[in-house]
Structure 1
Amino acid sequence: MNRRFVTLTALATTSALVLVGCSSSSGQESTDENPAGEITVLTNRTDLVDTVFQDYADTFNETYPDVEVKFEALTDYEGDLRIRLNSRDYGDALLIPTSNVSPNQFADFFEPLGTTDELGETYRFIHDGSYDGTVYGLSTFGSAMGYVFNRDVWTEAGITTPPTTEEEYLDALQKVKDTTGAVPYYTNYADGWPLDTLAGNIGGVTGPDALNEMITDESPWTEGKDIYAIDSLLYETVAAGLTEADPTTTNWEESKTLLASGDISSMVLGSWAVTQMQDAAELAGKPRETIGFWPMPWATDGQFESVTATDKLIAVSKNSDNKPAARAWVDWFTNDSGFAESQGAISPLLSAEEPDTLADFTELGVDYVELTPRPTGDESLINDIANSAEITLFGNQYRQQLIDTARGARDGDKAAFFDDLNARWATAVGQNQ
């Protein structure tokens, strides 16, 4: 990529494809040199399964004519995989369900793809899919963190440059509300998973070691720390009445149209979302440039930084009956499909250039942060602590509770909410050292 990256490793937040497969059905043996047979590709991209993915299969067959690729779309991918992983019948290749599987479990479910040293020469985000030096999943694409916004709405409110502090950001949302009538910020509370992506901002405040520091920090929900900044900003946005009236009625697919039309003005997401929002603007008869993407309001001396993170990780099932064909698909999809480019996302290939969806970032001179790899052998420790604390750090449940507290639908206030999180986290840190 053209802009410099600060060294680190990222989290996995939201939306691409997975494979689940079958045994070989072509009548010939499937080998590494000549993969053959049938695989079924599972995907959460219900909007692409009958179009783009069919084109992928056709193109894949130009190189691998003896492999039959089938697709099945899953609306609740993580939920469905939670069930499938309890059996051996979870296909030939799949996206690693990060909310269900910790790195120390990778070897239980997935085939090794190579070493971090070897594959790290070709791919970005290599440490996210690895454990103890072995890679089990490759990035489908990466994203930079920030917020998508309707440029026309913000311009009408008099905001033409990105806020550099939380106070400026909240003031900007208030101006949107006061002058445009648009809902300033949309939580996507009901679908839930967009709230998962907020954790992708860990590292955007204090730097690339932020996530690793949480494994020994007994009070991370304290002012000045990353997870506090992320969750406090969400709380204050809701408490100030700058979000939808009833978060239980939000709808992800509808939110794209609402943002494009100017009924809502912004959502914190990864840069992967920009293309989808621009497509919605185009369908609404508006220029694609109507949709902008700005960095989070945590600039230091006027310099913005954005955490880059992998999206889903694609892997080969340990229990696959057709590992050669599954590996051929994984390699082809990662190297040759052009999926990342089509999504306006950061390519997993180190040789690829920066996507056009980050044009605003390029103009602003945003520095990219890739999180420091998790300690070798302790890649799962942050997940173990979160699980012991019963805090869905990379999920949505506790953030839904935070939103309910901020809007008065649940007892408590921000201080009490964060005190409870810190107490549970401190206990879990002690249990997992």
Structure 2
Amino acid sequence: MSSFFRREIRMRRRLVIVGAGFALLLAGCSSLTPGSSASTSSTPSTSSAAVSATTSTGGAVASSGAVGSGSGVAAVTTAVPADKVELKLAFTDSPDMTKALIAAFEKKFPQVTITSQYTQFNDYVKSLKLAMSSDSAPDLAQYNAAFGTFVAGGLIRDLTPYEQAYGWDKSFPKSALDELRVDPTGKILGTGALIAVPGGLSLVGVYYNKQLMTKAGITSPPTTLTEMEADLAKAKTAGITPVSVGSLDTGGLHVWASVMNVSTDVPALKNWINGKAGSSIVTPAAIAATQKFADWAKKGYFPASANGTSENDSATAFAKGASLFLINGNWAAAQLDKAMGANVGFMVMPPATAGGKAVGNGFSVSYSISAKSKHPEAAAAFLNFLQSPEASVIEDAGGFLPPNASAAPAATGVKGDLKKANQAVVSADGLIPFPDFAAPAMLDSLESGLQSVIAGREQPQDFLQSLQTVWTAYHGS
């Protein structure tokens, strides 16, 4: 699997630069218009009957369907045009999966041809912001964090009417869709217009080495955070490194965020990440969770070289038997499965109390529709296809977790564990955005701050206050 998700969270950093340049572009383009568990839904209807849907979100939809273009009713249909239709799709990552999805969709709807346009990641946003404002804008575009700025210019279609017409609330995970909602300013996430649909999910959880577990005297994977801490101590006593951590980049973030997820109020944490007014990360529960993270480092549960090790290298070390646990995403599963076989397992981060809600950080490779598309019904049919059984097989083969968890192919070993964990998170509406989505400059503060916490140079409350300062600079108080 590609490094899409690690790239995606880093994309927030780049928005500081991209946003400034894009604001000038939009100034000259003001006239342009651009919870439930997953289950299998029906394929797009070939009926010619139109479905009218009025948005109930913060971004009103006009007849054009653009976000932020005014108020009104958008009449949409789930009928795939019978005549020949040509669509253009712009993308930057997961090329094999994207092309396979296109081929499968075209096989199902042979009257629709989708031409894909690949752009290297470093040039994707720069080229796309120009393309989306032109008369030859792609009909579909692979979602990127920069799309928040596209919303303010009315370049992205509000998909809420299609969500209601197709019943996507029944066929896509609520938490995955909520991550793709944005208010008219493009800054507040989790609310407002739906601007993309997921075509493959990610999930961060805990990988464990079964042989080392036995060596440490641990009979079964931990079911609570308290049990996991006890296992960390047992591993340390047995001379086994408890957790492989790569804090040179995002590895330490995965560990800290996972502890935060199961130790704090999840709705409040999501509000902070999404930018809801009045939110704060400096809370007693967050301080306690960060102190736990600091204590794990102080007790030697992390390698001494954690701050000089990358996330990729920590996964490689774990694959070679260097530690009992690794907290990482599903993108590491293929590597670990190949290297460790039946010796590796996966679970969500154990909850604070037995039977607690299954939660985990994750995002999705997703697709949006340009508000300038002349064939939005055909484009929406492609989005709807992403939750189909046919698409689920392709998404699974691409290393992702299918949005339609119930349609995911049968799997064994660590991939079977991932499937089970994903179904639990989807059922619990427990997918949580990556913490750095809170502000464009947040990732730098998280990575450097957590390095300081691991090294004992910064106290938990001071670290959290530094994050809040970045949040306030972007969102205001």
Q: TM-score, normalised by structure 1?
A: 0.66
TM-superposed CA distance for 1:138, in Å, is 1.1
CA contact (8 A) 2:204 2:254 kept: no
Q: Which structure is richer in relative contact order (CA contacts within 8 A, separation 6 or more)? A: 1
Q: Which residue of structure 1 aligns with residue 310 of structure 2? A: 250
Cα distance in 1 between the residues matched to 2:92 and 2:350: 33
Please point out which of 370, 373, 391 is paired with 1:337.
391
Alignment of 1:349 with 2:404, yes or no, is yes
Q: Percent identity?
A: 16
Question: CA 1:43 to 1:290, structure 2 compared with 1: closer, same or farther past 3 Å?
Answer: farther
Please point out which of 275, 284, 290 is paired with 1:223.
284
Number of aligned positions between the proteins = 372
Q: Which residue of structure 2 aligns with residue 137 of structure 1? A: 196
CA contact (8 A) 2:201 2:401 kept: yes
CA contact (8 A) 1:107 1:136 kept: no
CA contact (8 A) 1:185 1:244 kept: no
Cα distance in 2 between the residues matched to 1:229 and 1:44: 38
Please point out which of 358, 369, 378 is paired with 1:306.
358
Q: Gaps (5+ residues) in structure 2?
A: 9-79, 183-190
Alignment of 1:63 with 2:116, yes or no, is no
Question: CA 1:37 to 1:117, structure 2 compared with 1: closer, same or farther past 3 Å?
Answer: closer
Secondary structure in 2 matching 1:59: helix
The aligned amino acid for 1:211 is L
Secondary structure in 1 matching 2:171: coil
Q: Which residue of structure 1 aligns with residue 325 of structure 2? A: 266
Cα distance in 1 between the residues matched to 2:419 and 2:409: 10
TM-superposed CA distance for 1:38, in Å, is 6.1
Q: Deviations over 1:278-329 (max 9, x none)?
A: x324433x42x322122324332x2232226552332123355775664454
CA contact (8 A) 2:206 2:325 kept: yes
TM-superposed CA distance for 1:144, in Å, is 5.2
Cα distance in 1 between the residues matched to 2:215 and 2:400: 28
Secondary structure in 2 matching 1:121: helix
Please point out which of 451, 459, 466 is paired with 1:413.
459
Question: CA 1:406 to 1:102, structure 2 compared with 1: closer, same or farther past 3 Å?
Answer: same
TM-superposed CA distance for 1:64, in Å, is 4.3
TM-superposed CA distance for 1:62, in Å, is 2.0
Cα distance in 2 between the residues matched to 1:255 and 1:108: 42
Cα distance in 1 between the residues matched to 2:109 and 2:419: 39
Q: Which residue of structure 2 aligns with residue 27 of structure 1? A: none
Q: How does 1:255-294 map to 2 (within 5 A)?
A: 255-270=314-329, 272-273=330-331, 276-277=332-333, 279-284=334-339, 286-287=340-341, 289-294=342-347
CA contact (8 A) 2:213 2:324 kept: yes
The aligned amino acid for 2:232 is L
TM-superposed CA distance for 1:426, in Å, is 6.6
Alignment of 1:209 with 2:267, yes or no, is yes
Secondary structure in 1 matching 2:386: helix
Question: CA 1:40 to 1:342, structure 2 compared with 1: closer, same or farther past 3 Å?
Answer: same
Alignment of 1:155 with 2:214, yes or no, is yes
Secondary structure in 2 matching 1:158: coil
Cα distance in 2 between the residues matched to 1:145 and 1:340: 17
The aligned amino acid for 2:444 is Q
CA contact (8 A) 1:183 1:264 kept: yes
Alignment of 1:122 with 2:171, yes or no, is yes
Q: How does 1:30-109 map to 2 (within 5 A)?
A: 32-34=81-83, 36-37=85-86, 39-45=88-94, 49-50=95-96, 52-65=97-110, 67-70=113-116, 72=118, 74=120, 77=121, 80-89=123-132, 91-98=138-145, 100-102=146-148, 105=151, 108-109=154-155
Question: CA 1:181 to 1:110, structure 2 compared with 1: closer, same or farther past 3 Å?
Answer: same
Q: When you count helix as a share of all residues, which structure comes out higher?
A: 2
What is the RMSD of the two structures over their aligned residues, measured on CA atoms? 4.6
Q: Deviations over 1:18-70 (max 9, x none)?
A: xxxxxxxxxxxxx944454463552433xxx35x5554444333234462544
The aligned amino acid for 1:63 is K
CA contact (8 A) 1:189 1:195 kept: no
Q: TM-score, normalised by structure 2?
A: 0.61
The aligned amino acid for 2:195 is Y
Question: CA 1:337 to 1:171, structure 2 compared with 1: closer, same or farther past 3 Å?
Answer: same
Question: CA 1:37 to 1:345, structure 2 compared with 1: closer, same or farther past 3 Å?
Answer: closer
Question: CA 1:88 to 1:237, structure 2 compared with 1: closer, same or farther past 3 Å?
Answer: farther
Cα distance in 2 between the residues matched to 1:197 and 1:34: 52
Secondary structure in 2 matching 1:140: strand
Q: Which residue of structure 2 aligns with residue 370 of structure 1? A: 429
The aligned amino acid for 1:250 is S
Q: Deviations over 1:213-242 (max 9, x none)?
A: 5446565333324xx466444444444441
Cα distance in 1 between the residues matched to 2:398 and 2:180: 21
TM-superposed CA distance for 1:330, in Å, is 3.1
TM-superposed CA distance for 1:152, in Å, is 2.3
Question: CA 1:324 to 1:258, structure 2 compared with 1: closer, same or farther past 3 Å?
Answer: farther
TM-superposed CA distance for 1:120, in Å, is 1.7
